Chains A and B, each alone.
Chain A
Amino acid sequence: MSHSAKTRDTSDTPQDATQTRRFPLRELVLFGVLLVAILAVYATMGAAYSTRMLVEAACYAILALGLTIQWGYAGQFNAGVMGFVALGGFCAMFFSVPVNDAFWGTTLPGEFGRVLLYGAAAILLIVGASKLDRLGVPKSLRTFITVVLGVVLYLVVISQLREVTDAIESQAGFVGGLGLPPWVGWIVGGALAGGVGYFIGHICLGLRSDYLAIATLGIAEIIKAFLKNSDWLTRGTATVSPLPWPTPGPAEVGFTLSRALYLSVTAVIIAVIFLLLNRAYNAPWGRMIRAIRDNEVSAAAMGKDINKRRLEIFVLGCILMGIGGGILGTFNSLFDPQGYLPLNHTFLVLVMVILGGPGNNLGTIFGAVAVYIIWIMSEPLALFLMQLAVAFGEGAFGWDTPGNMDSRALQARVLVIGVLITMVLRFAPKGLLPEKIKSHS
């Protein structure tokens, strides 16, 4: 942490600081190029396809904003974006899918509620046992009682839960949804993601940032494993579709118009998030955050509560990821837990942030849209290049090519993302649109 002050502010000379408002040439050029790229996609791939791409890019922009405040504002690295996205997607599904009468019409909800009550009672008992030393029980005995009680009660509750969930699966298929509008799911998804973020952040606070990366990586895999295997809740690999949209669906107004309407909803959400974040960035709170990031020791000496601010930032980022995941899930109109991949939902977002400019919201949005266009277009491009190589190899050297070339060509994108991450870190560590550091002299 001691080098951090040295690495940040090399370009920030006093001349820059006095130059109050510079002409945003770089921003204009980059966004102009982006606009041309979008128009080119519209011209070649058709309006419906391109609008879908834009909506997805907008959803990724929300995820990237979440990551940019964690990484760019506070220097925390979240390696488990996928998990928070999946939570958001799950909430969007759970709240918006129609009510399943085969579940709610039976005694199963009561049974399920009973198990939940058992669980709550078990937790109370265990917490009570852990406080036994206040009644004069020796500490070692208290620990022993707590552990044994915990193991036994856990086994009791988990086996009850298994019975009920098996019954739900065999009688009702799955729990079904709540039939509420999708935006309820988005908000709850954000809250749930924030709650998980609070749990993780609270544990890893004050430890090295490597630990946060490991823990987030782990929780993401766990969330995915849970959603994939809880057939009673999510139908697991059978997937849930369709998810209702907040705007008129393709069946009513056609693909292009319905997607354009959805795009306008996401655009409004991004605009709101962007304005609020910019406001916070320029407020005393944002200044404090940057002070902590750039020099922890002196910020602590000024009396700032470092761990609390860090936790705030981390939870805020996770909330944004949950909301973005919910919007993305609803747009896909399909909840497939297996579709959440570290590559698509963690590393792609990471590339967007570090390429666009960590800590610069405008740069992050630029990075999100630009990288997503490249990502989508790389699929046909990779297949084309692979076919070219195969044709060349067969013609020139008589290669005997394996049949699964298509799936292998898609693996090449993993490679490209990896190369991009390492190259950007080495040659453009501040991204294409670096964070503008103001100093008030």
Chain B
Amino acid sequence: MNELVFFINNVVISGSVSGSIYAIGAVGVTLIFSIMRFAHFAHADVMTFGAFMVLLLTTAFPAAGASIGVPTALLMLPLAMLLTAGLAVGIDKLFYKPLRAHGVKPIVLVIASLGVTLILQGLIRLFSGTGGQSLYVDDRKEIFRLALPFEGVRAPIVVTEPQIYLFVITIVAVVALHLFLNRSRLGKAMRAMSDNPELAQASGINTNTIVAVTWMIAGALAAIAGTLLSLDVTFKPDLSFFLLLPIFAAAIVGGVGHPYGAIAGGFVVGFAETLAVFNWNILLRPFQDSFPSWLELPSNLAFVGTEYKIVVPFFILVAILVWRPTGLFKGKVIS
């Protein structure tokens, strides 16, 4: 049983944590792709920017959260979402819109977004330095240890406070997105434009509004994902290059342009990562006695070492591109 608890701690919980973060990030990428038709490489840096805004606000008012009993960082999240949404719209106005007006190929927009990546990264590093910083400036990270009511189980299930917030916020964000896309006028217009831009424009949908709204949603979601990640670990200015590949893998696994697919893809990638680095020997050890004597299990039965974690999303990406390039849920144009 202790082994099972270990499995839950190391795979189920940490897989859902990274899965939620990838899912929220991938939704933004996939929405941008479905409206603007290009892979937005700067998304991971928009996430970092959101987290950085939270860090700045939290450092400015460290005691604000204590009055209502939540960490200050969480209280500042809505404000940071607003700022990041503004940033995303601003980036589009400044960098992508002129290029779109020129009618360039989508790949030129991809290169421009790499330029934006570097600009954001440079700015964040310039102001925050290169080291890691905790978002818990004045508060304390609570750690909950849930002991299981079984005989002989000594190890508790460990969940930290930011992880609980993370699950709650992810569920809220997904439900809100679902309601927006299916119930609101703007959401329906967005889906129409993603399906057929010319037809959407011909039927009186203001495409400029849709583009702006898409950037705002993607920016706000990116701020959530970046903040939750930084709450769980620490804030680092160079988070983005480690996030880019899992997020794109998630978006492609789910079918590009498919928000629900991106959520599923995020969890697929998150769990695949944790399952691949998990040492399976721990689960097999209790059955060691029942194995034939010639079979001696090596002490490390992980598929890849933690240092090669990045191989996992890449492997998933390659596999999906080879076998099912449209993704699990039939995605958009790929040729």
Contact = CB atoms under 8 A, between A and B. Distances in A.
B34 to A, nearest CB: 13
B24 to A, nearest CB: 19
Interface in B102-125: 102-108, 110-112, 114-123, 125
Given A213-B41, A412-B122, A225 B311 contact: yes
11 contacts: A3-B105, A155-B303, A163-B298, A209-B110, A221-B241, A222-B311, A412-B126, A414-B118, A418-B117, A420-B115, A422-B112
Interface residues on B, range: 35 or more
Given A159-B300, A418-B120, A421-B118, 8 more contacts: A155-B301, A203-B321, A213-B41, A222-B310, A354-B111, A413-B122, A418-B121, A419-B119
B321 A207 contact: yes
**DSSP majority for the B interface?**
helix
Given A213-B39, A418-B121, A402 B129 contact: yes
Interface in A223-252: 225-226, 228-229
Interface in B15-69: 38-39, 41
B122 A214 contact: no
Given A208-B333, A208-B334, A225-B310, A214 B248 contact: yes
A80 to B, nearest CB: 11
Contacts of B248: 214
Nearest to A202: B322
B122 A162 contact: no
Interface string B281-303: 00000000000000000101101
Contact of B317 (A163, A218, A416): A218
Nearest to B306: A229
A159 B95 CA distance: 49
Interface residues of A, number: 58
List the 4 shortest-distance A-B pairs measured between CB atoms, nearest first. Answer: A415-B122, A418-B118, A421-B115, A418-B119
A425 B121 contact: no
B317 A429 contact: no
Interface in A1-15: 1, 3-4, 6-7
**DSSP majority for the A interface?**
helix
Contacts of B335: 206-208
B5 interface: no
A408 B41 CA distance: 24
A75 B318 CA distance: 22
A418 B311 CA distance: 27
A79 B121 contact: no
A425 B321 contact: no
Interface string A1-34: 1011011000000000000000000000000000
A402 B133 CA distance: 15
Interface in B163-177: none
A95 interface: no
Contacts of A418: 115-122
Nearest to A159: B298
A215 B317 contact: yes
Contacts of B255: none
B258 to A, nearest CB: 15
A214 to B, nearest CB: 5
Contacts of B307: 225, 228-229
A425 B112 contact: yes
B108 A429 contact: yes
Interface in B255-314: 280, 298, 300-301, 303, 305, 307-308, 310-311, 313-314
A342 B244 CA distance: 13
B120 to A, nearest CB: 8
Contacts of B116: 418, 422
A47 interface: no
B162 interface: no
Contacts of A383: none
A3 B109 CA distance: 14
Max chain A C-beta neighbours (<10 A), residue from B95, B119, B280, B322: B119
Given A214-B245, A414-B125, A421 B105 contact: no
B28 to A, nearest CB: 15
Max chain B C-beta neighbours (<10 A), residue from A162, A214, A215, A429: A214
A402 B120 CA distance: 21
Max chain A C-beta neighbours (<10 A), residue from B107, B310, B313, B317: B107
B122 A75 contact: no
Nearest to B33: A210
Contact of B301 (A1, A159, A163, A412): A159
Contact of A411 (B103, B104, B105, B126): B126
Given A75-B105, A411-B125, A203 B39 contact: no
A350 B321 contact: no
B236 to A, nearest CB: 13
A178 B295 CA distance: 38
Contacts of A429: 102, 104, 108
B107 A209 contact: yes
A417 interface: yes
A211 interface: yes
Nearest to A226: B308
Contacts of A343: 118
Contacts of A217: 41, 244-245
A272 B41 CA distance: 36
B318 A79 contact: no
Interface in B219-248: 241, 244-245, 248
A342 B115 contact: no
Nearest to A224: B310
Contact of A408 (B114, B125, B241): B125
B325 A207 contact: yes
Contacts of A222: 308, 310-311, 314
